[in-house]
Amino acid sequence: MCYKRKFFFLIFIVTFSICFSQNRKIELEIKGAKTYNNIYIRAFQQYKTPIKFTGETVDGNNWTFTIPDSIVEKSFDFDFKGRNQEGVETLFGFLGVIQEDTLMGYYINFENGDRLIKLKMEYHHTAHKSNNRYDPQIKKTITIQQWDEDYFLIDPNQNHYLRENMIDFSFGFFQSTDGYDEYLSKMASKIKNNPNSVYYLTRLASTLSYYKSKKDLAQLYYLFSNEMQQSYFGKIIYKNISTFKIDNVSLFNNETQKEEKIVSNTNIYTLLIFSASWCVPCHKKIPMLKKIYKESNSMVDMVYITVDDEKTLPNWNKLMHNEKIPWRSLLLNNKELKYAWQIGAIPDYILISSDLKAQKISLNDNNDIKNLYSIIRNK
């Protein structure tokens, strides 16, 4: 009897492992006069360096990549890089015809429960790219970075995510010729037509700071299916449109050389301001923040949270001294907290009530400041 129980227990464990630890596959077939010694896929995740997965091949033309479910679930998208026989590494770009236009894209992902992505493509050409910046001090344009890109002709219908990436290559209303309201309307229409789209969900999750209000963000979020809302990226979006419980953790104060609670006064609101020494948009907010401090410091405790590391922390301390910042400054050196608080692009802001209920807020203009005052005054 004991052996039977052990046997069935082992069967259960094996079945459980198969069901919940499955991998996904990407198969790549390359045609044309281009061969590679190595090809790898990069998975892009929030707050992490890209994760690489090297492909397997028997002939240099057909490649297979294996990626765990746990990686796919948390990845915005994937791209390809290859190393040719001369040892030169290139980024892969895709050219596809959609409605008689030749469009370009770089990223793929698993859509609608796909477990296998099959891509057939043909080498077209190689282009040399560079990232240039004009330096006003020397009055010259300098090259910051150079790289090669191999382009391939592909049928974009092989992967829905790639197709959407080609159509919406310069994603975001900040690059759109439409006005904000028109862009918002078009986005809503696209999500309505495809409420299970991983593409639009990940794009929304990666551009949270570009929306003018929580209302606009929520309007788009609730157009997604319940499955998408409950997914990893759905939860990221939801955290930015709702209140959440926050732990009163301790962070290091470089000035006092001591650890301090982020909330030091539970009788008033606490405003966490996420910034860094190298963040120019953050520095432009300082006059506005000083105005808020002067007008409402009896109702809200303002706290700078810098994401500087050990190398740049002296620059942050110098900034605090030069700007004569009157509020506290703490160091966020905990990646888990950065993820838990969903701090992506900075500047970013979290408002905490006396019962440690937190919410993301915006501080871009006078309307945002009025909204902040309304919250802290009405409690």
Average pLDDT over residues 236-265: 90
Q: Is the pLDDT of residue 110 over 90?
A: yes
| Domains assigned to the chain | 23-167 (2.60.40), 173-241 (no CATH), 246-378 (3.40.30.10)
Q: State the DSSP H helix or E strand holding residue 232, giving kind and residue range, or none if neither.
A: helix 232-239
Please give the Cα distance from 18 to 63 (Å, whole number): 24
Percent over 70 (pLDDT), the chain: 91
Bridge partners of 29, per DSSP, are: 62, 120
- Rounded to 5 degrees, what are φ and ψ at 59? -130, 0
Q: What is the pLDDT of residues 274-313, one digit of tens each?
A: 999 999 999 999 999 999 999 988 899 999 999 998 899 9
Would you place residue 272 in the very low, low, confident or very high pLDDT band (cuts 50, 70, 90)? very high
pTM: 0.69
Residues 6+ positions from 163 with CB-CB distance below 8 Å = 96, 98, 105, 156, 157
- Asked if pLDDT for residue 216 goes beyond 60, the answer is yes
Is the per-residue pLDDT at 18 higher than 50? no
Residue 355 has what DSSP assignment? T
For 173-206, b/e burial (b = at least 16 CB within 10 A) is: beeeeeeeeebbeebeebbeebbbbbbbbbbbbb
